[in-house]
Every structure is written in structure tokens, then in C-alpha cells.
Structure 1
Amino acid sequence: MAETATSSSRRGYVESSFKRDTRYISDRVTADGSGENAWPVEAGRYRLVVARACPWANRAIIVRRLLGLEDAISMGVCGPTHDEDSWTFDLDPGGVDPVLRIPRLKDAFEARQPGYPRGITVPALVEVSSGKVVTNDFAQMTLDFSTQWREHHRDGAPDLYPAHLRPEIDEVNRRVYSEVNNGVYRCGFAGTQSAYEEAYDRLFDTLGWLRDRLRDQRYLVGDTITEADVRLFTTLVRFDSVYHGHFKCNRHKLSEMPVLWAYARDLYQTPGFGDTVDFAHIKAHYYVVHHDINPTGIIPKGPDLSGWLLPHGREALGGRPFGGGTPPGPVREEERVPPAHQPTDRWPSEVLGGPVQEHLLHQDEE
């Protein structure tokens, strides 16, 4: 399931063997509104509610930006932490979303189904006029952004789900979802030693498979960025900040795995990826919300983020990030991640929590 706030947090997140709840409001938004439980594509009708902390929501933010859907689908951003049963709009003035006019995402789920019985998850697509959640099926949501919202794509938008590569993308996505996206949670929420060790081995076996796949090709499927790269990136970008320590995925840091580290930096430095990442929100969410794993609520100062800006060298493998298209333009001012929450060429050591490489601090002077 997408990142969730649920009453189960009263008893904590750790389970003897973690199993993700994959029941969603599975309605879709389709180009002509056809299909069972389908809603029509219509610019301005829906609002995408996200939390930058959440890897599943981060996918939707990236795809929306790469495709240039900002004018067609507005975006509301929840804060990095939530209470026991809802994500909240505590970043907005008065703690109320300025478009939906609600303080809690739970209100939109309750508008759709009074007494909604499952977790309140992001990302969620909400109909503005009714205030009802249309869908929180995060996997289908981004595929529909690519295939159903084409008339609202920007000029030069990439094809993130090309028809001729869909079987291979789907196959890669299934393994990445099961063993990596969900695998880190299976490690972190394991309640027994045996469950943890099984999850740990499965995770790093798959990271090895990905390493071998990416050693001689720039992207996961084909020679351009696809949905598969988006889905892997949002786990990799959180790996050293939270999964390595907080979830005990500690055979290696991402920064100690040369192929995957270079691949992740390549994507991070591609417009539409790194400019959506809020490291401060990421760390606050995991270390504060998962109280049974980190009961003190202390948020680590590290790791040093400056490495995300180092040259990656992946251009030598060829490939065209956007195919025949172009990168997205600058991030809209109201959607920018605060500079203090991202690495820069002059990232202060007191924010990093560690020493900064001198050539990054002074590269303008070289």
C-alpha cells in the first residue's frame, strides 16, 4: 500500500512477518471516462494529494512533473508526519488545504465512503468539486498519467510507458516492487529474526540483479527513462538516509554500491527527479512516525548529501533521458522544495551533519 496513516499505528508498525495491505479505491481516470468505475480526464477537476516524504507519492510527483501535467492536475502537499489516522495539511496556512478546504486527507476518504475502514494513503487523487477521493491506487495512477492524460502532456514530454516495452517494464516493476520497494519495509517492519533475515537476503539479491542489469545499460528498460526507473529511484534516493539504518538494510549503503549509486545520481541530476526530493521531510517522516522502531523520535543529522551532486559518468553508456523529447522546465515557485532540504554546491556542513567535500564547496572558484 502507499504510505499510510492508520489506526494500526496505535499498536505500531512491526509485525511478525510484514504484509502490505494492497486494497485500494481502484477507480481510474480514463481519457473518455469509459470502463467500470472510471472517471473522465478533465483539466482542473482533480487534485493530487501527496507527501514528499512518501516514496509512493514521490513517484506521482515525478511523473506529473516529467509529463508537464501541472496545469491539468493541481497538487496538495501534506506534512512529513501524520497522526494515528490521517495525513494532515499542516504545511498550509491554518492547516487547511487551500483548494479542498480540508485539514485532513481523511476528510476526502470519508466524503467518498463514510466510515472508510482502511488506511488513509498518499498519493490520492481527489475530485475538487465533491471533495471525494477518486483513487489511491498509486501503481495504476502513474500509468494513467502517461497513457490517459496525453492531451494534457507538455510539448516534448517523454513516453514513460511505451507500448512496445510494456511487457518488459511490467516484469521489471513486479520484481522491483516485491523485493525492493516493498522489500525495505519487509526488513524494517519484521518482528522476528528469521523474517528479517529472509527479507534482507531477498532485498540484496535483487539489488545485485539490478546492479548486473544496469552495469552496461543506462536505464532499466530501453535507452530512455521509463516508469521502471521512476519506481526504483524513489527507493534508492531514500536508502542511505533511512533504509540503511532505520530499516536495518545495512549490508551496504547505496553510496557503497558503485553501479547503483552512479545510476541513482544520474536520475537525481535529471530535471524532474532530484528537484522533487525533500530529504528533511523523508527523515522526519520515518524517524518520527515509526515510533516502535525509533521510540526516541530523534532524527539523525546525517548522512552527507553532497555526493548526490558528484559526476556520475553514466553518459558514456549512451541513452537519451527523454527520448526525442525535452526536459521539463523550472519547478513552479509554489512547488519548490526548500533549498535547505536539498544538497547544493554550497551545502552547509551543519545541515549535512558531516564534512563537505572541498571541491563541491569551491567549484565556482576553480
Structure 2
Amino acid sequence: MFSVSVEALVLQWRSKLKHYLILSSAGKPIYSRHGDDQLIANSIGVVQTIISFYQDAQDTLRGFTAGGVRFVVLSKGPLNLVAITKFPESEGQLRTQLESLYMQILSTLTLPQMERMFRARASTDLRRPLQGTETLLSALADGFTRGSPSTLLSALECLRLRKSQRKLIDNTFLKTRASSLLYGLIVAGGRLVSVIRPKKHSLHPGDLQLIFNMLFEAGSVKAAGGENWIPLCLPGFNNTGYLYMYVSFLSVQSGGTDQEEERPSTAGGEDNEIAIILISADKEGFFELRDMKDQLVKQLSANGCLDTMRDAVRRGRPLCTDIVPGTPLRHFLYKSRSHVQFTMPSYSPTFESALDRRR
């Protein structure tokens, strides 16, 4: 029977270009993107010793560079989050990534819950209450490593539609609004189409990133079926309690009736479905939101908006030459800071490989 030596596993772990480690202030491992507990135990011990040395001196370690490798540390109460990279990323970029991983943890455990656990026992093992969230943390970490434009810009990409088409979708969405609805989103092909929100209240970019990571990167929700009811904490909105998210997926394929269907996960790739996302503070609001979704889909189908979205998803992003004919421009990213949204052309034909895109 073939077995890999410990030395080989350590060399394989060290060959990774980027690592994320999360540990408690007592030095307990919580999460590592690569390697199991046994493999990373020594590294966790070294990291905790260095962090503690600074804390004992009434100082906070933020980061350092050694041998061409950048280390960034983010201390959040009872947690220490560490990014280790050989990529040419800035400390600010890595700190933003660690903040996102921290928010992912809070989306499962609210801040008061976590603080209560560590007050009762400083050496609490957080892995058990966080069991099942490793997929979400890894999907988020892999998005950072791939150089996802959404994570790079802390913004969402919008589906390319005519203004009149988007206005019709927005008006249809508003007309079917349920009384318990807090936030509503329509997403097609992994890109934002329409948003309903309370006046003077915007969804925090970090919260939107958590929702998109759960639905379109990790693939864990779609694997469970076409319709879901999910309790989650949105830390940017309120880190002390839970909201409830109704999600329904519609196939982009045209023809026939618009039935939800179970599809294989498309984690890490282009998503080919329309998602209706409805968020409420009412934990008993499932049936009301499902009725809203049924009415919304019925009206969007009747006025042709579902076909409009499907056509836009199938067309994909435009080429640079579609935007400026004859241009030598190879690619660009444009972010509207006020809307926290971005747009970009297709990666083709210049950036076909994952390595080229990350660069």
C-alpha cells in the first residue's frame, strides 16, 4: 500500500504559494487552507509565539517580510488570522482578505456567541461550532488566490442590460415586494441584476461578498437543491443576530416552464443560473417569501424579462473590441465607488488561462 512520508507532505505544504491560518489567542488551530492539524501544529505554535511576544510587550504585530514571503496578522478579539504569501500583494490587500475571512466566521457565529464561548473558556475549540463552514472559508480563500475581480475591488459585477430592460425588472421586483422583505436581489450568471433595499440602507459590500461566496463559489447551497431557507448573520448589517435568506434557482435554459432544478455545483466557474435571493428578519417568513418569488417569476416570465436575462447571460461579457472597435486595449476593470459595482470585458482572447487572469 502506497503511503506518503511526513517529510513529503511538509514539502508539499511549503510549496504552496499562499496560506491562510486562523487560530485562537490561546494558540488553538481553527482553520488552515492547506494541511491538516498534525501537519500545521508546529507552524501554528511558532506563529502564536511570535504574536504573543508582541502582545506581552503591549504591542500589536501587524506583519513582516522574511525571505521574500509576506506575513500579515489580523487580531480580532479572541482570534488571530494570518495570511502568508509569495505573491506580490500589499499588506492592505491581505488585511482586507483576512477581514473577509473573519466576517465569514461571524456569518455562522454571531459576535456575542463567539465572545461568550471564549469568556467561559479561553481554550475553546472553535472548530466544532464552525463545522461545515470550512467549504465557505476555502472558497473565499481560493477566490483571493485566483485574483477574483470582485474580491480585489470589494464590489459586485452587474449583468449587462439596457437601461429600459433593467428598469422594467426593477419595477416588477418592487410590485411583488412582500411586507417582511428586508433585502432582495436578482442575480443572473453570477452577476447582479436588481436590488431591493430599505431607504438609506445599503447592503455592506462584505455582506454581499459572503452571500455570493455561499451561493456561487462554494456551491454548497445549490448542491442542496433549487430552493433553500438559510439562517445567517450579516456582520456588516448587524453582527449580533441572524437574518433569514430564501434562495431559489431558475435554469437559464429557455423553453418550457420555469421550474427550479437541481444542478451540479459550478464552484469557481461561471454560474449559469438565475437566483432569486430574498432576506427577512422574520424566521417564520419562508412561505410569504416563497409566494413573493412565485409571483415575481410569473410576472418576469409574462413581460419577457426572464428571457432578457437569459439572453444576456448567454451573450456573456463583451470583447474590448466590441466596446472600442480597433482598440489595442487588452482588458480593464471599472468600479463605480458610489454603487459598489464594477464592470469588465471578457478575458478572451488575451487572458485565457487562470495564471494569466491572476496576473
TM-score bin, normalised by smaller chain: under 0.3
Per chain length, whose mean CA-contact separation is higher, i.e. which structure has more relative contact order (CA < 8 Å, sep 6+)? 1
Give the TM-score, by structure 1 length: 0.26
Give the TM-score, by structure 2 length: 0.26
Greater Rg by CA: 2
